[in-house]
Amino acid sequence: MQDLINKLSADIKEQISNVQTLSNLEALRIKFLGKKGEVTELLKCLGKLPKEERPAAGQLINEVRSLAENLIEKAKADLGKKQMAEALKQESIDVTLPGRRRTVGNLHPLTTVLNEIKDLFIGMGFTIADGPEVEEDYYNFEALNIPANHPVRDVQDTFYTSQGHVLRTQTSGVQVRVMENIENPPVRIIAPGKTYRSDDWDATHGPVFHQIEGLVVDEDITMADLKGMLTLFAQKILGEDIKVRFRPSFFPFTEPSAEMDVQCYICGGRSGKPCAVCKDTGWVELLGCGMVHPKVLERCDIDPNRYTGYAFGMGIDRIVMQRYSINDMRLLFENDVQFLNQF
């Protein structure tokens, strides 16, 4: 019995010391300590020994059991650490490698230019006004001295709703709303926003576009004030060397009226060169403007004999096209990532 115990003890030490995996260690635990394990079989043999030898033999077998349990626990801990170290090594991250580059968004060129325009006018003493995009017929037409039979009221030009409202064709209605709600001038506001017209897409037109309307009402306001302010605006936004011209025009809500053109940014203003943007004229219409019609002031309870004012409306989309030499307005609405990444 003593020889069997000594041999089992030696086998336990040798085999556990050479084990390489947790699964193999579990197999050894079953082999030595399981219900049919070698230690258990030795304990079953105690009954065959003389009574006087049983205590000593039982003590030795229990020591072998304790030895096996301790060695297995120690081997299990060592193998667990080794396995964890190998896993960490395989899953380690090389912090010296460059990280994955994330695409960072930026402001749309329309938003960028709009913000610059707002900052410029705020610096000149203007405030920003807002109004509804679904506008009442009165504010979109009648209050602006546009009679009921005027062509711009036709369904070919204007989007009407079932309730008799319209998708605003300009932000000029905001000017009327502001003048209605003041006690007395001065008024100095800009009204940026989306506008809608029943139009087809081409290089310089579309059914939806962005506008900024401006309004100044005070005593002794003249056309010279309007021209000076718009010329300064063009120089600050489009460049100091920009060339502008004013042409007589007609708008029901201003008298006299004018349109301001800027030199074509595609053909360089060289009239006669084939150009889809300026239609071979060398100039691009940028905005309409004029002195506020006395009838518009009267509708807002402002005395036209004491106060005068000027108004202007410009398409931000065309300003962006001029600013970045874009030859087709539709590019601003297509959300093409390759196009937008240029900005």
Condensed to tens digits (0 to 9), the pLDDT of residues 9-48 reads: 888 888 888 888 888 888 888 887 887 787 777 777 777 7
Q: Which of 300, 204, 215, 306 is nearest to 254 (CA)?
A: 215
Terminal C-alpha separation, the chain = 90
Judge if 83 and 137 occupy the same domain.
no
Report whether pLDDT(259) > 90: yes
Residue 98, domain member (yes or no): no
Tens of pLDDT, residues 100-126: 888 777 889 999 999 999 999 999 999
Which domain CATH number covers 274?
3.30.930.10
Judge if 292 and 334 occupy the same domain.
yes
- Which amino acid would we find at residue 63? E
Tens of pLDDT, residues 208-217: 889 999 999 9
Considering 91, 121, 143, which residue would you say is the last residue of a domain? Answer: 91
Question: Cα–Cα distance between 257 and 255 in angstroms, integer?
Answer: 5
Residue 100, domain member (yes or no): no
The b-or-e profile of 153-170 (16+ CB within 10 A means b, else e) is beeeebbeeeeebbbbbb
Q: Which of 328, 272, 300 is nearest to 215 (CA)?
A: 300
Judge if 73 and 23 occupy the same domain.
yes
∠ CA 300-304-309 to the nearest 5 degrees? 85
Per the listing, tokens 């601003």 go with 332
Q: How many domains does the chain have?
A: 2
Judge if 241 and 292 occupy the same domain.
yes
Domain range for 195: 109-340
